[in-house]
């Protein structure tokens, strides 16, 4: 048993959110909020100082590096702190890149305070902490991988949802237009649809992409 507190870094671009997280966590014994960061870049720099145990990371910042990119940068370092994603987003397009980037846990911002504190302690211990809806989504993906989109297919369909043409998507992702069409054909098959509009609607309904 140790009395050393778990040292936390709060990374979110909304001051009100950071204040709310701090208010909840500082009432918990053994948790110590030692720093805040308003950008993902600042979170990476602060985490590298070596005195943080768990980073509570948002996924979307106002610009620049994303939360998933910051997570990858933080967890790549030696003796890296754990990263617990705390966000409002629970689609495959959000969850999978964050987990792949090295996040130890994934929690939604509407979680009860006791769940947040428990997730922080779980992450600090090196164990996975997932919101129930996130765990369900990952389990469903494993049970029926045929209906799951690959990361590249998710990127393509997200850009389709944003109104980009095949040519523009190819330019954005450094793919040929023919490759984009091949990705779309596979997406249509997986979702059981025959048009871009139907694919976007189905993927949004299933929580595969965020609109």
Q: What is the CATH number of the domain that holds 191?
A: 1.10.10.10
CB atoms within 10 A of CB 193: 16
Residue 193 in 3-state DSSP?
coil
Check pLDDT > 70 for residue 145: no
pLDDT in tens, 186-205: 999 988 899 999 999 988 88
64 and 94 co-located in one domain:
yes
Which residues span the domain enclosing 199?
145-205
pLDDT at 139: 80
Among 91, 115, 141, where does a domain finish?
A: 141
pLDDT at 115: 94
123 and 194 co-located in one domain:
no
Q: How many folded domains does the chain comprise?
A: 2
With respect to residue 211, please indicate whether it lies within any of the assigned structural domains. no
With respect to residue 210, please indicate whether it lies within any of the assigned structural domains. no
Rounded to two decimals, the pTM is 0.74
pLDDT at 75: 95
CB 102 within 8 A of CB 126: no
Computed over every residue of the chain, the mean pLDDT equals 91
With respect to residue 195, please indicate whether it lies within any of the assigned structural domains. yes
93 and 163 co-located in one domain:
no
DSSP 123: H
């Amino acid at each position: 048993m140790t009395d050393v507190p778990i040292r936390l870094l709060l990374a979110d671009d909304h001051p009100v959110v950071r204040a709310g997280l701090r208010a909840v966590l500082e009432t918990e014994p053994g948790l110590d909020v030692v720093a805040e960061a308003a950008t993902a870049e600042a979170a990476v720099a602060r985490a590298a100082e070596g005195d943080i145990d768990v980073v509570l990371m948002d996924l979307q910042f106002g610009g620049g590096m994303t939360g998933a990119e910051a997570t990858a940068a933080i967890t790549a370092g030696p003796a890296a702190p754990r990263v617990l994603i705390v966000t409002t987003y629970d689609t495959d397009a959000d969850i999978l890149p964050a987990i792949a980037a090295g996040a130890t846990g994934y929690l939604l911002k509407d979680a009860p305070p006791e769940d947040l504190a428990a997730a922080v302690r779980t992450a600090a211990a090196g164990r996975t902490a997932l919101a129930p809806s996130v765990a369900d989504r990952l389990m469903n993906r494993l049970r029926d991988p045929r209906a799951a989109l690959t990361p590249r297919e998710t990127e393509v369909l997200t850009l389709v949802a944003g109104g980009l043409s095949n040519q523009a998507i190819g330019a954005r992702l450094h793919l040929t237009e023919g490759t984009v069409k091949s990705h779309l054909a596979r997406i249509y098959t997986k979702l059981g649809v025959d048009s871009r509009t139907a694919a976007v609607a189905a993927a949004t309904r299933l929580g595969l992409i965020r609109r």
